[in-house]
Each structure stands twice: as C-alpha cells, then as structure tokens.
Structure 1
C-alpha cells in the first residue's frame, strides 16, 4: 500500500499474505469524503435487527406509562444505562402472521408478509426490510449484508403446523423465494469479515500455520502509522486491539473444544464458546467490528429461532424455552420465561454499550446506527402476533428522539416501523407489506 499526503480513501485495507483488514473511519479519510461516505453532515447509514424468539411476559415488558422512560419494567432493567438511546413501542402487530404460529412469527418479523403454507420447497414469503436496505447501501461495502444466528444446526422438513422449516431458520429473504442462511460459527464469521476461506479442514490447517491476522498485515500497518496523526494512531490501536481480543476468544473456544473441556453430553461445533452468553457476546463483538471497519452496514441477528428448546441453567432456568413459552398462565412458568426474556435483553444492552463506546467520526457507532430489537410474537401462550415487544435504539444523528415509551391507541402494523427505518437509511419507497403510514413519533421531541 502506498501512502501519500492525500486523504486516505474510506475503503482502505491493510493487506499481507492473502489477508486483508478494513480500517475504521479516520480523520485522515474525512477530506476525501463525498456525499456517499461519512461526513459530519452525512454519516454512514447502518441498520441492525436483533430477533428475540417466542415473545415475552408482557406484564414485565411494557412500561407503566407512556412518555419519558423514567422507570423501566423488570425485563428491560438492564437497559437503564441506555434509556436516552432507546424507545419502547407498544401495540404493534403482524397481521400477516395469522393464523398464529411460531413459523410465521419468525418469517414475518422482517417481511411483514404472509408465508405460503407448505412443507415443501415451494415456499414463498416476501423480500425482507434488511434486504431492501442492502440493495440501496450494500453496494458501498465489502458485504451487502451480514446474517447471523445462535443456532448451529439448521432444521429441515416440516417444523411447525405444516410450515417448512425454512421459515424458522431464516430471518432474511432477498426475494420471496430466496431465504438467506445465517451463520453462527464465530470463526467462520471472522473469516468472512477478514478473509481465509476454504473448507473447514483447510481453515483448521490454516489456523495452525498462522498466529494472527494482525501479524500478517504488520508491514502495511507500520507504513500507515507513519502518515497518521496522534488521534488516528490511537483510533487504529484501539480497533486492532479489539480484533486481537476477538481472535483470542475464538482461539480459546477452539482450545476448549479440542481439549474435551465441554460437558460430555453437549455437542458443540468448533469455535463456539460453551456458554450461550459468551457465544452471544462474541457474535455481538463481531458485529461491532463489521460496522467499525465498514465491512457491511446491514446486519440481522437471531438470538434463537422460534420453537427453540435451548435451556438456560446458568440463569436458573433449566426448562426448554419453547415448552416454557406455552405456560398455561402458570405464574412460576411465566416468571421463568421472563428470566429468559431479561437475559436476552441484557445481551442486547451489552451490544449497545459496545456501540456507544466505539468512536465513529464525530460520534459513536451507536449514534450512527439504527437498531430494531424485538419478536414476532406478543403472548406466546396463544401464538398471538399483536402487542409485540419492540425496541428501537441508536440513530441520534438520524434524528431519532429516544428516552420514551410510545403506545398506539389502535393496533398498528410493524411494517410502519420498518418503512420508517428504511427511510432513515435512504430507501425511498411508498409502502412496505401492509404498512398504512410511518412512525413519525420517533422524530418528535418529547416536549411536543
């Protein structure tokens, strides 16, 4: 790489021995910025979706009052440090997910479309909101979008009430007939972001040949630093230390797997930490890196698929999640389900914390991102797709006014919110699925 006194292009990579590493936004890049890249007046547009399966205990989710978020309900308590960056929206629905099922909850969350009732390969849904965004802003990055999950194995056949498993396996659809598979292996995600490729056997062999991605780009890095100011050098050091730490954690997880340190009854594929929370935090860290390096600007993340039978003994819930969600109004079962809900939200809070503490241009990654967290089911006991648990976060630079609870008087399509967030990343469309308007309240100051 040849460095001159001219401003660095935004898409600058460090390269070495077949590896490449995208750089975060640096002051040295700003003079070369155009209307298509980050400037203080026009920040990079990022959009993220985090899916929580099987609804929630609404009595512990919905804030007691509308307006300012003075007090968060029990499930949302971990978000207290981020109250000024979040909005809770109540009385949203997915009308096209009826008749109610887990499959249609998963399928409709980002599409707001009706899934064709089929057990075969003739499935049909709709293009999802994230992929509409990827079409508009994905051409500006290495990856148009990134689809992630926590479930290692994809189920096949018929999964729920005569619906093909493809509806539960995939949040993102690039067309009504094209579901996009998600990736749960941290190592595979890391290599997709920063390079390596090859089959699993080839990747494992490559791991033994190389010490670290950063070692491979050392020469480029040394040359680059000679032409940067102190602020940019510090920013690069922070970013590279994060890359290094993610590598260390993946390697520790692989060492645990190869050394047989997992419980004998738990089959854990290579490179995933044994504990769910450790795995989820690592996946969130990879998302931070993907945005920090501007490798992609659109990400979806499925905390678990619908009908997941994952247990959470580490938080005192040994019950499988899916049967627990059909609680039959048993207070003890509802309380245990609420613990799972709160655990998932706490991991989202971790993600917000990482974004808030990662500088980006004239603000943070959280300032320059819009995120939607939620589920396609409200009350899972009856497969209800109304009163959805929904949070919008980040996006201060985009004009989002947070720190509030918005509640609609009448059930309102979730598609309205999708349409609004698409507006904010530059996707100009008149309607989306069953939308009947936009969520203008997100841009109105609380005092109005």
Structure 2
C-alpha cells in the first residue's frame, strides 16, 4: 500500500506559537481507494482515571440523546450525539479495590489478588484483539500512556505501565510522550536496513546471553523461583517476537512525517490532542489496527489551571471548589473526545470511506465517581460495530452486568472469534439491533 505525504503543498498540521494546530486530514493520507480491499476493522480503547461527576455527567434516564438531551458533562459531545452510545450498569467484577486504578480495566482480573500470593493479572482485551486484528500490521497494537508526576499512582491509574497486559499477565510499557510516538511512527535516519540489522543483532545477542545464564541458574532455584523465572522468559519471548516483527517490516519504509516533530515537554491537553491525531495517522496508514491509550489526568488539570490534585477531585462531595473543578474536568475530557471523533470522521480510509466507519472506539474509566467501583462509564462510537445502533443511553436491565461482557461484545463486533473473555457471562444483547 502506498501513502503519499506531500507536506509542502498539503499539510495536515501547522506550527503555531510553539504548539501544534491540527487541520482536517487530507486525501493524500488515504492512499489508493476503490481498488483496495475492504478496510480492516480497528479497535481503540481510551481510558481515563477517577471517573466523572455523578450529578452532572451521567444521564438520568435511558433513551435517545435527541429526546433526553445531553448532560452538562457530555455537552461538548452534542455534535456527535447520534454517533455515540453510553452504557450504564456495567461493573468490573475483578476490581475490588478503589485504589487499584485501571490495572484491571481491560483485563477483569482481581486487583486485590489472592491473600498471601503475588497479584497476577491476565491478558487485556486490546491484546487479545491484537492477536486477531494485528497479524499483518507493522505494530500488532499501539500502546500509549502518559508521563505523570507520580507514575500514575495518584492519577487514578494505579500500578501498571499502560492499560495493556500481555498473555502472561505482565504489564506492557506504553509510549508516554508525543515525541516518542512521532519517532516510532515516522521515518527517521536510524531506520536504514543496515542500522536496523545492527540493532536487532545486538538485542538478540543480549537475549541469547540472558537465556544461557538463566538456563544454568534455573537448576539451582526453588520451585517458586523457577516459576518466576519462567514468567520472566515468557517476557523475553515477547521481546523476541517484537524483534521478529521489526525484521519482517525492515524493508517496508515508514511514511514521512506530515508535520514537524512535537516539542520535547508537551503535556496535558496539547499532548492528548497530538496523541489523538497521531493515532489517526497510524490507523489511516495501516501501521496498526488496535490502539490503547491510558490518558493523563494530573497534567491535564495543571494545563487547565486547576491547582487541586487529581485524587482530591475524587473526594469532591463537600467542597464547592472541588465540585467545580471536577465538572470542568468532565467537560474538558468530553471536548477532547469530541475532537478525536471529529478527526475520525474527517480522515479517509483506504477505500475512500470515512475512517470513523471502520472503527470501534470505547471511552471510559475504571471508576464511576469518587471511589465507586460499580456502574462504570462506557461510551462507544465508530461505525465498525455494524450491529450497534448509536445515539442513545442504554441502561442495562441487570445491575452489575460484567464489564467483560461489554468487552466481549465489542471484540465480536470487530470480528474477533471468541466466546468468552475474563469473567464474562455472555455478550450485551441490549447493544445490538
């Protein structure tokens, strides 16, 4: 597939006062059109921390948004009201600790773990989707996170390195900075075949040395330590798979960057904007079909001029300044999400259709409000789930419907052949038809 990036005459981004101004995506990114096969399904998982303000974000009743209206917190999404679906009464049965953050948001594993034993997570649904949708892409999935001053602990995300966990239940590192994502997506001087081969050989040599030393060590270890070492080598195998994929794609050049590299210290709202826009380019150019993004919370508040800490907003009940800040945060998050939907609708896919029409996007949080673990927010958009009818708030008849049922439903809509995920008891039929 060929992608053209005439950045001189048809740029998609402009530099403005040290920041990046996003413009509508142009046909030069769409590649060939009608002659291409049907576009692939894409899945995007977006997660924030600490939930939203109970009284002003969540709709009071079920129904079509055109009839029940948009709440204050959802108001920035009004222009997309016919293309989003909000689901209520979903509960992550694995989340038993409100301070566990988003550790089990995409996995459903028990955050508290088993007493006396190490916490062991399970595979996240984005990685399960990547096994099916990412076989023929440069990156089986893009895993994005954010630099937060506390490493995520006080931003509502808890432990882990991103929203993604591998098949062994190990945390997968995310790309934290827009600049790092820029360097990974677009061609740079270090992408020559010779230099790539040198890097691959060095990495493989290190892995071989680790394997030899580890094999000798294993004979002297206890059974428990042997299990830990086995888990470690499972991670080593994941690295090897990554190297194999890099070698496979080494002769296929990356697209040239359509805009200048972002600033080194970009954070908060500007960072989210740029991450969203680069996600669009990655999907549009076929570099990946699956994306997860653990979004920043602390730096977003700082950029908004809110001096309160993110965690303090989860205790807003008796503080008027905190209530006001929480409501402003909600509107900002909805506005950023609306921007992302704008971009999906503007971008052209390989056959000339809207990229939006081939995507399944989930936006939500591991908590509802404050420290409430039940009835977590979930918003779906995109036309990739052909059986899901948008434009409504769906209140499920069964309280505490497993969140895993929701993930299973979305994966099946994307063509992932799976009848069960985590603690699922089935799909969510109320979303279909």
**Which category of TM-score, normalised to the shorter sequence, fits these structures?**
0.7 to 0.9
The match for 2:288 is: 296
Contact 1:86 1:393 (8 Å CA) reproduced: yes
Are 1:374 and 2:367 counterparts? no
Could you tell me how far 1:142 is from its partner in structure 2?
0.7
* TM-score (normalised: structure 1): 0.70
Q: Which runs of 5+ in 1 are unaligned?
A: 1-10, 16-21, 203-219, 222-238, 254-270
Could you tell me how far 1:395 is from its partner in structure 2?
2.1
CA distances 1:192-243 after superposition (whole Å, capped 9, x unpaired): 11233869xx9xxxxxxxxxxxxxxxxx99xxxxxxxxxxxxxxxxx98xx4
Which of residues 354, 357, 372 in structure 1 aligns to 2:346? Answer: 357
Q: For 1:437, what is the secondary structure of its paired residue?
A: coil
CA RMSD of aligned residues (A): 3.2
| Paired residues for 1:193-212 under 5 Å | 193-196=185-188
Could you tell me how far 1:52 is from its partner in structure 2?
1.2
Could you tell me how far 1:12 is from its partner in structure 2?
3.7
Are 1:412 and 2:415 counterparts? no
The match for 2:32 is: 26
Contact 2:385 2:410 (8 Å CA) reproduced: no
Are 1:181 and 2:181 counterparts? no
Q: Which runs of 5+ in 2 are unaligned?
A: 6-27, 196-251
Could you tell me how far 1:25 is from its partner in structure 2?
4.1
CA distances 1:152-178 after superposition (whole Å, capped 9, x unpaired): 56839xx58xxx9643x3210112432
Could you tell me how far 1:345 is from its partner in structure 2?
1.7
Are 1:66 and 2:54 counterparts? no
| Paired residues for 1:129-144 under 5 Å | 129-144=125-140
CA distance in 1, matches of 2:125, 2:189: 29
CA distance in 1, matches of 2:188, 2:159: 28
CA distance in 1, matches of 2:4, 2:112: 46
Deviation larger for 181-190 or 147-156? 147-156
Could you tell me how far 1:404 is from its partner in structure 2?
0.4
CA distances 1:68-93 after superposition (whole Å, capped 9, x unpaired): 11211011111011111100111111
CA distances 1:389-420 after superposition (whole Å, capped 9, x unpaired): 11011125633210000001322111111000
Which of residues 79, 82, 103 in structure 2 aligns to 1:81? Answer: 79
The size of the alignment, in residue pairs, is 345
Q: Runs of 4 or more off by more than 6 Å in structure 1?
A: 118-121
Change (3 A) 1:351 1:121: farther
Contact 2:178 2:274 (8 Å CA) reproduced: yes
Deviation larger for 392-401 or 44-53? 392-401
* TM-score (normalised: structure 2): 0.72
More strand by percentage: 1
